[in-house]
Chain A
């Protein structure tokens, strides 16, 4: 029993780390723009396809390591471009029009999500694409946890030690003030989208290497959980997203040991409601005063 519990925790940590990588994108964008970027889960899906094509193209059979590493990097680069493009096309024009409510960008985000899903169905068909198995599953999971932890550390450094991080934080406190102080807000926002999307791509490729398949509706499944993770952790908080992801991953795996395993998502949402009732800003979220 104990042995199995350890196994479950291991699997849960791996699953949670992947969710966390995606959750970061939601959290970072919300942190600076107060926008829930629903298209994020679709960027995740698109990068899963990109990773599939890169890895297949680079030759998964002959050079698995090279294909894996460069396939992942390629997918991350493409995702970053896509993320920036989505921001430029769908959100930036709305942002320049002051005085509008938050509803408009939210609806645009939903629209973007639907658009990307359908685009993927047209481009790649609704077929499930099985990733080639380039590394054994046990090792994939270890790589996932290690990569996720390293990424979190890297992200903390990026946010707290670099000029870009400083402008991001300034932006999240007050966009107008940041601009007045000389922060190039447009560029900082684009960069945030790019970083978030690249992390989603990393999560997507790792997810698929572990769990096999890319398909156009995959964003919905993982995206929902990642979004819940971001909210539980405190949306806008980077360590919060990590914590939320791990929490959801572990909770999900523990549920699988019970007879209620098919109610996993129900239990996750109950946990979300529970956390929000006790701590409305999420586990690590700060309470901010809304200026009206």
Chain B
């Protein structure tokens, strides 16, 4: 979800000058330290600051996972997670990660949503040779930092390819149009991957219109795209551009279910309210049909009395993959755990079946959701392992003995009531960043 955070890298300076009274309180020690009878794991998250909503959601997911793990502790030792708040800031994060490793002697690190924060932290984890799993940083660079950085979510690059498969195979549309912001890395990257994948999937890009990321008047583009006779339009842009684009498209008589987007669409209530029928990429939806997902939603609702967001699901899976690795590790050292994480195969997580590939990224299906009545509902899973998931036979898992709900239907169309929780939370992130990057006259 948070490839867009890459912009924060460029604009961190502006952000810092704006947050005036953020007093840096000293290092909040969480006590602890490596213990003989428990696994100490560190987690650094944005628990305060502008991204606190994401941090809190992720933390809840991790907490739920740890609770479940400790009911049947790996190798007889319970896992203890030390949470550290990085205040949504890069420099805080690097400091906290060093503390976790040097002072608390953690065996592994879980963390961060924003790629701009995960990346420097991953560099430290690599230097100290402690494995790190990021739940939801999608920027490709995060895991390129070295052997010790992993992720359980998809990467930005993969979204474009999945988008093509979704348009052509899942929706069965052959004539595809693309509209994207050419001067925006995220948008341009997704569009490029999409274009490459459409042909092999059996579709054809009949028209391609590009603009800049400050464009808001799309009528001329829409008319041209409409005249080209497209069946579906892929718009890998942020919601701030998608809202005017959709309003103008509606005025031209296009329908919502002709539009497919990336995760940049999530984060705005207005778009969710208005773009009825549109599809976009997400890590997860609360009404996914697979067993592990259902079980997670139930447990989450029971514990926190609300529907989990995508970030909570990613946090949960990151902790679960780690626990699974700890169980399988040949040596009880960070190095041993690292090797075990790297060997993760078809782990049935809440967000889908996770296989860690040689680039330390997760090979897993990507979820497409449809906007329905102001919220999102699961539509399809696309990518590695998707067939297995949607057939309803969750891949066998080594240790987690889960009550198998057997046949889950391929597509559950029911709208999930609180599915937009994650989306609503990320409202300020993208525009804040891209807005600050806009040129001055």
Chain A residues within CB distance 8 Å of chain B: 4, 7-8, 11, 15, 38, 41, 113, 118, 121-122, 125-128, 130, 133, 136-138, 210-213, 215-217, 220-221, 223-224, 227, 252-253, 256-257, 261-262, 264-265
Option from A126, A130, A136, A264 in Cβ contact (under 8 Å) with B432: A126
Contacts of B428 in A (CB 8 A): 125-127
Contacts of A220 in B (CB 8 A): 438-441
A137 in contact with B247 (CB, 8 Å): yes
A217 in contact with B220 (CB, 8 Å): no
B183 in contact with A221 (CB, 8 Å): no
Closest Cβ–Cβ distance, residue B424 to chain A (whole Å): 12
Docked complex Cα distance between A264 and B268 (Å):
28
Docked complex Cα distance between A256 and B223 (Å):
11
Task: List 29 interface pairs A-B (beta carbons < 8 Å), by A numbering.
Answer: A7-B223, A11-B220, A15-B217, A121-B18, A127-B428, A128-B239, A128-B431, A128-B435, A130-B243, A130-B271, A133-B247, A133-B274, A137-B248, A220-B438, A221-B214, A221-B438, A253-B220, A256-B211, A256-B221, A256-B224, A257-B220, A257-B224, A261-B209, A261-B211, A262-B183, A262-B210, A262-B211, A264-B211, A264-B215
- Number of B residues near A (Cβ < 8 Å) is 40
Closest Cβ–Cβ distance, residue B278 to chain A (whole Å): 15
Option from B18, B210, B221 in Cβ contact (under 8 Å) with A122: B18
B251 at interface, CB cutoff 8 A: yes
Option from A15, A38, A257 in Cβ contact (under 8 Å) with B441: A38
Docked complex Cα distance between A251 and B214 (Å):
17
B126 at interface, CB cutoff 8 A: no
Docked complex Cα distance between A121 and B19 (Å):
11
Closest Cβ–Cβ distance, residue A130 to chain B (whole Å): 4
B182 at interface, CB cutoff 8 A: yes
B439 in contact with A215 (CB, 8 Å): no
Which one of A136, A137, A216, A265 has the greatest number of beta carbons of chain B within 10 Å? A137
Option from A11, A138, A215 in Cβ contact (under 8 Å) with B431: A215
B270 at interface, CB cutoff 8 A: yes
B399 at interface, CB cutoff 8 A: no
Interface string of B408-441 (1 = CB under 8 A from A): 0000000000000000000110011101101111
Q: A126-B431, A216-B435, A262-B210 are in contact. Are A224 and B441 (CB under 8 A)?
A: yes
Q: What residue in chain B is nearest A38 (Cβ atoms)?
A: B441
B244 in contact with A211 (CB, 8 Å): yes
Contacts of A130 in B (CB 8 A): 243, 268, 270-271
Contacts of B182 in A (CB 8 A): 262
Docked complex Cα distance between A217 and B213 (Å):
12
Q: What residue in chain B is nearest A10 (Cβ atoms)?
A: B219
Q: A128-B240, A211-B217, A213-B240 are in contact. Are A138 and B441 (CB under 8 A)?
A: no
Q: What residue in chain B is nearest A262 (Cβ atoms)?
A: B182
B221 in contact with A261 (CB, 8 Å): yes
B220 in contact with A213 (CB, 8 Å): no
Contacts of B181 in A (CB 8 A): 262
Docked complex Cα distance between A138 and B427 (Å):
29
Q: What residue in chain A is nearest B269 (Cβ atoms)?
A: A130
Which one of A11, A261, A264 has the greatest number of beta carbons of chain B within 10 Å? A261
Contacts of B224 in A (CB 8 A): 4, 256-257
Contacts of A261 in B (CB 8 A): 209-211, 221
A4 in contact with B227 (CB, 8 Å): yes
B244 in contact with A212 (CB, 8 Å): yes
